[in-house]
Amino acid sequence: MKNLKLLICVAVAAVVAMSCNNKPSLQEYYVDNSQNPNFISLDIPSSIVDVSKSALDEKQKEAYESVKKLNVLAFKITEENKAEYEVEKNTVREILKDEKYEDLMIINSGKHKGVVKYLGGDDSIDEVIVFGSDDERGFALIRVLGNKMKPENMMALVEAAQKGAVKSGTLEKQLGGLFD
């Protein structure tokens, strides 16, 4: 009986220790930095993104309609915060290295670098994460949240955005010319 109690205590302690993860989550990172003066934090409904629905195919339309909102956290580089920029950029990269984030796309166009990742399964995505940086201007971290998002549809939507079917003019106005 004494050994059984000891075994149960050890098992409970092991479960508690494994559940206490000291890695910061993306959500914690957003919350921790939303009041930092070097960051701009916005919650944007998907309706603000200008989409020419006629230019989208069925998969792209389904993907767009599954998106509910965007959480944007952006860091603009100034002369005073260049060192903090490097620290923050590396912190985000470390968070996104967690194996729970699945790769969807890697972006590398000269000085602009980024990744598109997602959380969830192959059938349904919980969120899409877009992280892009430019060492002269700053970085943006965007969480795309929605309902019943599908990886293949989201990939099609990203491709449509790259081809110009999704305009970011309204979104850029919301960001207030952050990277101008």
Q: Tens digit of pLDDT for each residue in 47-67?
A: 776 666 667 788 878 888 888
Q: What is the mean pLDDT of residues 82-95?
A: 96
pLDDT digits (tens, 9 = 90+) for 63-85: 888 888 889 999 999 999 999 99
Q: What is the mean pLDDT of residues 94-107?
A: 91
Domain extent for 125: 23-174
Q: How far apart are CA 6 and CA 9, in angstroms?
A: 5
| Number of domains the chain contains | 1
11 inside domain = no
12 inside domain = no
14 inside domain = no
pLDDT digits (tens, 9 = 90+) for 153-163: 777 777 766 66
115 inside domain = yes
- Of all residues in the chain, the percent with pLDDT exceeding 90 is 37
Which pLDDT score, from 0 to 100, does residue 54 have? 64
93 inside domain = yes
Which pLDDT score, from 0 to 100, does residue 26 have? 92
147 inside domain = yes
Q: How far apart are CA 33 and CA 53, in angstroms?
A: 35
Beta bridge partners of 131: 115, 141
Q: Which residue has the tokens 């098992």?
A: 11
DSSP 3-state assignment of 154? Answer: helix
82 inside domain = yes
7 inside domain = no
What the block records as the tokens of 2 is: 């004494």
Identify whether the C-beta of residue 114 lies closer than 8 Å to the C-beta of residue 133. yes
Which pLDDT score, from 0 to 100, does residue 22 have? 67
